[in-house]
Structure 1
Amino acid sequence: MYKIAVVGDYDSIFGFAALGLDTFPVTSRKEAEEKLETLAANEYGIIYITEAMAAECEKIIEKFQEQLFPAVIRIPGVSGNTGDGVEGVKKSVEQAVGSDILFGSET
């Protein structure tokens, strides 16, 4: 069975532990990238990452998007919502179904 992790700054992720998710606070791009690699190698099927930290780790997240597992999903942090998380889900759905389900097909 796959596990679920949450990666980001401590203030943004500590509440997820109450939901039974494994939380991994990180403070730098390097630390986040190393943690993502470790989690992917240890049967984590879903990794939530704060939008701010994801912005610093785009290359490694793109690598995971080419794989079936883990699913890396951006979430807002305490600093607010940048819209990157919603845009990422929208792109994934568009790729899977072949059109933009929210605003119609432009292809």
Structure 2
Amino acid sequence: MYKIAVIGAYDSIYGFAALGLDTFPVSDVQEGEDTLKTLASGEYAVIYITEALAAELAHEISKYREQVLPAIIQIPGVSGNTGAGVAGVKKSVEQAVGSDIIFSNN
């Protein structure tokens, strides 16, 4: 059975443990990269990663973009929402569907 992991700064992810998700607090970029590689090669189907850490690991995350598993999904951290997570989901939907399905009235 596949598992769900959450990677990021401790303050941003500790609450996810209460939901039963496996949390992996990291304190620097190298530790984050090592943790991501380990989780992606293991039994984790979904890996949530804070937007701040994902920005630092964009080169590593791109290696998994074309794979079915794991799904790497960006989430906001305690520092706030940068919009990167929503932009990533939007881009994935555009690739899958072939067009933008989110319309803006701006």
TM-score normalised by structure 2 residue count: 0.95
**Deviation (angstroms), 1:103:** 2.7
The secondary structure found in structure 2 opposite 1:67 is coil
Bigger mean CA offset, 64-73 vs 13-22: 64-73
Residues 5-84 of structure 1: pairs in structure 2 closer than 5 A:
5-84=5-84
The residue number in structure 1 matching 2:102 is: 102
Aligned partners of 2:66, 2:30: CA distance in 1, in Å?
21
Q: How many residues align?
A: 104
Q: Does 1:89 align with 2:86?
A: no
The runs of at least 4 consecutive aligned structure 1 residues that moved more than 3 Å come to none
Unaligned runs of 5+ in 1: none
Aligned counterpart, 2:4? 4
Q: Secondary structure at the match of 1:4?
A: strand
Distance 2:67 2:85 in 1: 18
Whole-angstrom distance in 1 between the partners of 2:93 and 2:41: 25
Percent identical pairs in the alignment equals 70
Find the aligned partners of 2:13 and 2:4 in 1 and give their Cα distance. Answer: 13
Structure 2, unpaired ranges of 5+: none
TM-score scaled by length of structure 1 = 0.94
**C-alpha separation between the residues in 1 aligned to 2:40 and 2:53?**
17
Q: CA RMSD in A?
A: 1.0
CA distance in 1, matches of 2:66, 2:88: 13
Deviation digits for residues 4-62 of structure 1, max 9, x if unmatched?
00000000000000000000000111111110110011110000000000000001100
